[in-house]
A and B are shown apart, each in its own frame.
Chain A
């Protein structure tokens, strides 16, 4: 069943798009990542032009995140206070990130810069998560999140009670985490879930089950902002493409959140770590292996 996409101006198989949306939605619901770091490369792979893939991917992430958050809200596993604090930091970080992005874009080689960011951060986060989760799993301890900077977090001023997370800490670390993630997310063109989730677990010491809902909550706002900016600035959101991805995505997200309940926290973290490392490996290989065709075409924006 072929569908011609009005903005992307290509004809693609609708069932394939349902499938892609479903797969990314499943991972989104399972791990609390928006899936931006997966959907964009997948859309590029099936021949969607890069600007449309980035913008439309963000739109699909909104739907998947809303779907996941609704379920987490009913389960009371969303820390709205923490989510809002992170979001506030995130907005500051994104604004700075967009500024840096434009500076690098002016020099050229923005594509390379983004790819190197992906390899560096995905590799680092994936490896750290994998090691830590394996260690926890081998020790066969119950799922207690590690609290490395317990002391530092408790000594800072401006303490706030994050009831759902069971934390009574200063707002300064969450704001800093928000700024950092927002900054990286803007540069890499993603919602930032795959950075946010480990940061919440390891830097803030939040319980894994709360982390997923809270991460999705703030991803809704980040990717909605991104979608709107792309739609207004470059007219690159393809509503038909987004619609097809969303139908698959919301169903996938529901299945993911159901599946997530059955898995242990360490198992979830290991799976997410492996996924992050796999994407990192793919991008690294693309950079290292000689491409089959050295030449490529790019449109010239009028």
Chain B
């Protein structure tokens, strides 16, 4: 028994050394984005960003497989997940769970299936996979299966293209150059989209690079949005004015054509 334990200890020490060696090998990620500002204008239909880069190293390429994981994360906010149940023959929202923080958009792109690329510990530490990116603390009393609510959130957002898991979508050539495309849907919200690039070897993160994409409304979108929030009374009156003038104009134009 003692011998087994000793072997295990020795084995993990070797593993640990290997990890240190990998980290010490000085593999570094250098990356670029095709654009780091996205303007939402009236004809915005979504956007595709190209994320590319290279691995910088001074030592020879280590033997185990190199992988790249890229995540793009939109601004987070609390979300209420409701579940319908039948009460007196009609379907009503009965149970609800508020997820403390969920990103409005989250995309993961990898070179291979995620569980082969990142160990569970690294996933937990770096919040890489979709369930890990969502922060849900505790459950309200009386709801035993609060986990299913978080699952429903992921399922609904995946269906609307807001959460994307693109395993194998990163091209890696010669263990050095990598590139991928991340599609941002049309229903984006404003804010800073944190972009992280991880280099992994044997499930361990070797290097990480953080950058961000700024998504902002521009032109007419910006003017209307700001007016609505800064001067709501003027905005409301202007909305009414437009409605009244449009109604009056249509009536007059039609009368003119009739004569």
Contacts and interface: CB of A to CB of B under 8 A. Distances in A.
B143 interface: no
Interface in B56-103: 77-86, 89-93, 98
Interface string A206-231: 00000000000000000010011011
Nearest to B84: A294
Contacts of A293: 152, 156
B80 A71 contact: no
Contacts, number: 187
A66 B83 contact: no
B237 interface: yes
Interface stretch (A55-63, A78-86, A147-155, A274-282): A55-63
Given A3-B43, A4-B186, A295-B152, A239 B228 contact: yes
A232 B247 contact: no
A300 B77 contact: yes
A61 B4 CA distance: 79
A298 B78 CA distance: 9
B50 interface: no
B45 A11 contact: yes
B125 interface: no
A299 B45 contact: no
A70 interface: yes
Contacts of B243: 59-60, 62-63, 66, 224, 227, 242, 246
Contact of B239 (A71, A231, A289): A231
Interface in B208-238: 217, 220-222, 224-225, 228-229, 232-233, 235-238
A297 interface: yes
Prevailing SS type, chain B contact patch? helix
Contacts of B78: 300
Nearest to A11: B186
Interface string B151-183: 011011100000000000000000000000000
Contact of A295 (B91, B156, B251, B255): B156
A129 B251 CA distance: 30
Interface string A63-103: 11111111100100000000000000000000000000000
Interface of A: 2-4, 6-7, 9-11, 47, 59-60, 62-71, 74, 109, 111-112, 224, 227-228, 230-232, 235, 237, 239-240, 242-243, 246-247, 250-251, 253-254, 258, 286-291, 293-300
Interface of B: 40-46, 77-86, 89-93, 98, 149, 152-153, 155-157, 186-189, 217, 220-222, 224-225, 228-229, 232-233, 235-240, 242-244, 246-252, 254-255
